[in-house]
Amino acid sequence: TCSLLRSPKGFPKLKNDTFLRAARGEETEHTPVWCMRQAGRYLPEFRETRASQDFFATCRSPKLCCELTLQPLRRFPLDAAIIFSDILVVPQALGMEVVMVPGKGPTFTEPLKEVEDLLKLRQKVDVTAELGYVFQAITLTRHSLEGKVPLIGFSGAPWTLMSYMIEGGGSTTMAKAKSWLYRHPEASHQLLRLLADVIIDYLVGQVAAGAQALQLFESHAGHLGPELFQDFALPYIRDIAQAVKSKLKEEALPLVPMIIFAKDAHYALRDLAHAGYEVVGLDWTIRPQEARAQIGKHVTLQGNLDPCALYAPKEKIGELVKKMLESFGTQRYIANLGHGLYPDMNPEHVGAFVEAVHAHSRHINKH
């Protein structure tokens, strides 16, 4: 249970470190597995817990975040937990208002329209004051996990957050946000720099609070081509890894493994392999062998089963997992989906995926 009465330090001893070992490139008996959006609407207990609450009010409740983070672990033998939160808490920390509109998703009441709108943003963010509720959720959850598995913290990456802040919500083209990159390159860099600085402090704060690994989500990488990615995404992705690591050292905090997940960014895999992350996450649109050839042997790969494969019969899921493990190899590899779970997925099929990863990877390792 998620009771708030425990001391912030003195965390329970970790019992299953398979995920962390794979992230660091150490040998593992089985391939670890977790799922993006594993705490989500596909679970009836999640819908029940969330029913009465506004989405962002839930994000601001450490007890509810803890409960939602633990729910999938009560059902499935996952090798990691990821804190329940949202990437848009960072724009909120900068002073923007975001509401969750049923049937539409996250919506900014006043998106950035003109360059002058940047002046409305907080130029200096005290992450403890603005995002302390996430840190409390992480500390509480780390205790409540009782060392069962490691806890992953995360943030959206600068370009992905910028695109939401300008579009005001989801978009199929990202035309408004991309037009800034072409029309206002300097202002775009100013905004991306501001976001990167907040993200760096936010990720370091998550480790101080108890996160044992960090994932950076560049979910909208696919809207950029190689040039725009090179100019407006990659420099900040690199900088975040470097700055987080040097701040962790300065503050004598654990150097936790970091994962970069840039969706639809095949064109950038070689660059991402050298961006300072221990793990590169892959979406489902690339062949494992190709990804390994581009990324090399010194970085762990994470991914990349098509989430829609979970609609298949359970036997078929097992076959697809076996093929995926044979393609990636069972070492220096963390099994996952190529994106998050969808709300209408059958939890039993999620269980079949997790169990297939464990069973087939153990079998491959033995033989």
Asked if 86 is an active-site residue, the reply is yes
**Assigned token pair, 21:** 């070992």
Sign (positive/negative) of CA torsion 247, 133, 235, 80?
positive
Q: Is 42 considered catalytic here?
A: no
Cα Rg for the chain, rounded, in angstroms?
A: 20
Compute the Cα dihedral for 46, 49, 50, 52 and give only its sign. positive
What are the φ and ψ backbone dihedral angles of 60, each rounded to 5 degrees? -90, 0
Q: What is the DSSP string of 102-128?
A: TTTEEEESS---SGGGGGGS-SS--HH
| 333 catalytically annotated | no
Among candidate residues 6, 75, 86, 133, the one labeled active-site is: 86
Q: Which residues of 172-203 are buried (b: 16+ CB within 10 A; e: fewer)?
A: eebeebbebbeeeeebbbebbebbbbbbbbbb
User: Looking at 37, 60, 142, 332, which residue is catalytic?
Assistant: 37
Distances in Å between the Cα of 16 and the Cα atoms of 8, 24, 81, 273 are 21, 14, 12, 27
The verdict on whether 74 is a catalytic residue reads no
For the question of residue 50 being annotated catalytic, the response is: yes
Active-site choice (17, 21, 42, 50): 50
Catalytic residue among 164, 202, 236, 333: 164
Q: Which of 6, 24, 41, 238 is catalytic?
A: 41
Active-site residues: which are they? 37, 41, 50, 86, 164
